[in-house]
A and B are shown apart, each in its own frame.
Chain A
């Protein structure tokens, strides 16, 4: 498809829209693990499915086009994508990581990479001076998540890229919360975009998958070598399910973001809610940067109730959202970071980062906004009034 079309249309119309042999409008699932070679001397494009598979390739080329990269890579989970990308590093290298990084990435860096002599420092990425002051001569990667999980802190992508380029580092960015529908990091100079495709990209809580996209041919070659050598590739059935999910990405994200905005405003005006974290709210510290570097605010928000008891009461009475880990699905998902995504973190460390016992994270699904707000209204009515100051 040479014509220039909008992102919304590109989700449906790309070189994979019809099968060249049969005209089928849905990509076939190629279960074959190996491929017959027609010529003794010259092998075809596909030989073994770990190295390359037509169904997985359809997904890889699709995500590359959507992110504006030269090549995409599909992995068996978001962590497999992130871990494989980290294999670009060598012993003695140093990586700077956003301090409120996802717990799984935190574990990979502190418990696995550290054993191979890769050094790390966690920094507050919203403070560019802080980032600059921690760059060392052996720093090779700056690893960013924006907006961050669960406090939705916004990092200035261009600012980080400038620092990285000046110091000869690569920038990795986890784009799971935004997806290319709202934020295209490669256009802003990022080198490697990573995704837990389990979330908004696939969107239906029914497939675990990870994706990586790069813009540079040389980097693409290196990452391909690692994908093939390490072998944590995505299965074909799952690749197909992600492709199917992508077709409705635009409409899903549009609906969920609209609802998230309305819910954030509703919660912000509720007396029992102490604080709401959503980059769409004008008082959010990252609001203007977010507006500048992304085309929307996404469908995830967090909010703080008084304490654990308040959170417990709310969760007990809420009827529509499922109470579970994960996000980015057709169903609304309510999470409790203190005991879920950040359970592994010591309490003081967790609270220092703002993840208090009253904090809840909400991934907004496709239910009618009014139904969700009505549900929260009744659940909040069971929460006790905030204790008086004297109670302290």
Chain B
């Protein structure tokens, strides 16, 4: 197989056999004419399938090494559709350190319909195995976790899932298939908030799912169509455009993040740096909670905003932003304390980023 850089740069090329266009057209058409009864072109109604969306769906399936891909109007819409595979009474084992939006969907949404979720620390595999009950049907992993950047051994969890007949679902948003391909390690379903690294420019909201196995793929296609939270043609096209530069963006994000993690680790006013050594995301804790706001206000280059994975550097305050929907005592017990900041390192020149951090770390202490 061609290398990931080549697959990415060539997404959608040669997809149009009539005009030879090197860039896939955006098909806004909502309906598709049939030549006669039973003579579908493969496209009928836009919700069921759209030629532009199909390109991004096939691309992500190939990149993740799965059988079929699905594009949704957001990462949450992707998760929502995957959960439709289950029924009342089913139980999930979920990473304890989890994106707040996923936690909210589980607890305020699906719990009402009788699904239940047990949050466990996947660094302790014995604890995970002991938590499995007769009703457990699936494992939902984030790796690395958000925002504590804990890595989980997917192959280990996959072994356990197989042993107990559980479906393994992995959120691969932070690493993308450039750094991690969960299906190859035994996962059944991979989920992405494609708004992040895959889109990469902070200008498109999208979710992707990849699955393996004929039966599972067919059921997901049915639910995608039935629920209808599909990605629009224009956003599909923007996502394709973003993905073409994914490999080189990731390389630059990672190079910068490595340097910045070293800089932060050596700084006297920072107590911990959470960086797994790969990718462009890291978190760190300031020594004093009272400095947080002043630090954020003093940043001149780095943007204080939610979200991540874009070309521009973002710093997020999980306590009031991404993880605000997790009850405070649970959040703090999990380690997402009020001194924690999450840093999505952009592709700027690393010296410029370090200079900005240095001055903000200095200014936060001036009263």
Residues of A within 8 A of B (CB): 1, 3, 5-6, 8-9, 12-13, 17-18, 23, 25-26, 204-206, 244, 247-248, 250-252, 254-255, 320, 322, 324, 329-333, 365-368, 370-371
Contact = CB atoms under 8 A, between A and B. Distances in A.
B312 A330 contact: no
B351 A366 contact: no
B10 interface: yes
B22 interface: yes
Contacts, number: 111
Question: Which 8 pairs, one residue from A and one from B, show the smallest C-beta to C-beta distance?
Answer: A368-B3, A6-B349, A9-B348, A26-B203, A367-B6, A366-B9, A9-B352, A368-B5
Interface in B215-256: 241, 244-245, 247-249, 251-252
27 contacts: A3-B301, A5-B301, A5-B352, A6-B351, A9-B349, A12-B312, A13-B312, A17-B312, A25-B310, A248-B245, A248-B249, A248-B347, A251-B249, A320-B10, A322-B14, A330-B245, A331-B9, A332-B9, A366-B5, A366-B244, A366-B247, A367-B2, A367-B6, A367-B10, A368-B2, A368-B3, A368-B5
B311 interface: yes
Contact of A8 (B10, B249, B349): B349
Q: Which interface class (under 10, 10 to 19, 20 to 34, 35 or more) fits B?
A: 35 or more
A100 to B, nearest CB: 25
- The prevalent SS among residues of A at the interface is loop
Contacts of A6: 348-349, 351-352
Given A13-B348, A25-B312, A248-B311, A206 B9 contact: no
Contacts of A371: 2-3, 5-6
B343 to A, nearest CB: 15
Interface string B198-224: 000111000000000000000000000
A363 to B, nearest CB: 11
B203 A5 contact: no
B23 A252 contact: no
Contact of B20 (A3, A5, A324): A324
Contacts of B23: 204-206
Given A1-B301, A9-B349, A205-B23, 16 more contacts: A3-B355, A25-B303, A26-B201, A204-B23, A244-B203, A247-B201, A248-B249, A248-B347, A250-B347, A330-B244, A333-B22, A365-B9, A366-B8, A366-B244, A367-B5, A371-B6
A331 B202 contact: no
Nearest to B25: A206
B127 interface: no
